[in-house]
Amino acid sequence: MPKRHREKSAQLTGDSDQQKAVQVPPIKKRKTCEDEENIQKAEKKQTYSVEILCERGNIYNQDAYFVMPNMVGVLDGHGSLGHNLVTEIVSFFDQTKLQNTPAELMMDELVSHLKEAKETKHLMTFNGSTLVAIRQHPEHQDDPKHFQIIQVGDSRCLRVFKNEKDEIDIEWLTIDHDLTSPEEHKRVIDSENGTIIARRGRSKTLCYLGLKIDGEYSVNMSRAIGDEHLIPGGLLHTPSTYDFIQHEEKDICLILMSDGISDVLTDDEIREQLQSSLTLPSIYEKVKELTYERSGRLDDATMVKLKWI
């Protein structure tokens, strides 16, 4: 996937950690009174604090986040106008009342809105976004420990917990929608126009989903919001969902993140950093340090942390 560049820094937290919010156009999403009110509602209802970090990469910001009373999420745009697309997605979630509807219906409504909105209907080709979100499970509203994770693309959800040795450990709760997945690979190959393009990324070989239209346009995902030129090649916006039940004695937090984090840090490096500090700025500092050592190209990076209190 073409590397995305974003431009916003913001942290909202119920803990003592605070980071000054910085806003650089064209991303419109910033810390608002409504965000703070929604975070307070979420913290009161779900007994967790919310911390957000959204940092710009080398050029301009295509990452974003949204905050609702019972759902938070991370977006990672791509394409030359991906930043405009994610801005409209944030606006949709700011206004929608669909946070308790089935995830697939929610995505259908989002895509329908993007196709009709005058701001984005021309952006749905050659631009797209990932999404990873977590919400109170709509079928278990009476259980504050039962959550549902929604994913489209390669943004991820990380569980941070204490293992049997009482050490901080990690577990990925989502599986990337890319062509390293046998099921996704087969689905694309079986589609009428699907082609697989192998291309080396910054630190690993990435498989790209491509469909030739007056040239070669591709992303390294098999599912995304947008990228309609790749739908005949097998691309979907259908989400995957994962159930998560919090274990009070083990679980510390969940972290939603864009690939500006997970593409840079290995699992061992993430684990080691979290054992040193659970704050999001400390993780991002490690990302910057290793990025400049390994490639020199800093991607946008967004994290949303839900920490049990």
pLDDT digits (tens, 9 = 90+) for 69-82: 889 999 999 988 89
Pairing label, strands 156-162, 71-78? unpaired
pLDDT band at residue 109 under the 50/70/90 scheme: very high
Q: Is the pTM of this model over 0.75?
A: yes
- What are the structural domains of the chain? 8-176+223-308 (3.60.40.10)
Q: Is the pLDDT of residue 196 over 70?
A: no
pLDDT in tens, 125-170: 889 999 999 999 999 988 989 999 999 999 999 999 999 999 999 9
Tokens of 43: 């913290």
Report the pLDDT value the prediction gives residue 36, as an integer from 0 to 100.
65
More confident residue, 25 or 54: 54
Tokens 């106008």 belong to 81
User: Which strand ranges, in their side-by-side order, compose the sheet holding 216-219?
Assistant: 195-200, 205-212, 216-219
> Would you tell me how many other CB atoms lie within 10 Å of the CB of residue 44?
10
Nearest to 280 by CA among 298, 254, 308: 254
**Rounded Cα distance, 126 and 210, in Å:** 11
Give the Cα separation of 64 and 35 in Å (integer): 13
Q: Can you tell me the mean pLDDT for 45-55? A: 81
Q: How high does pLDDT run on average in the chain?
A: 80
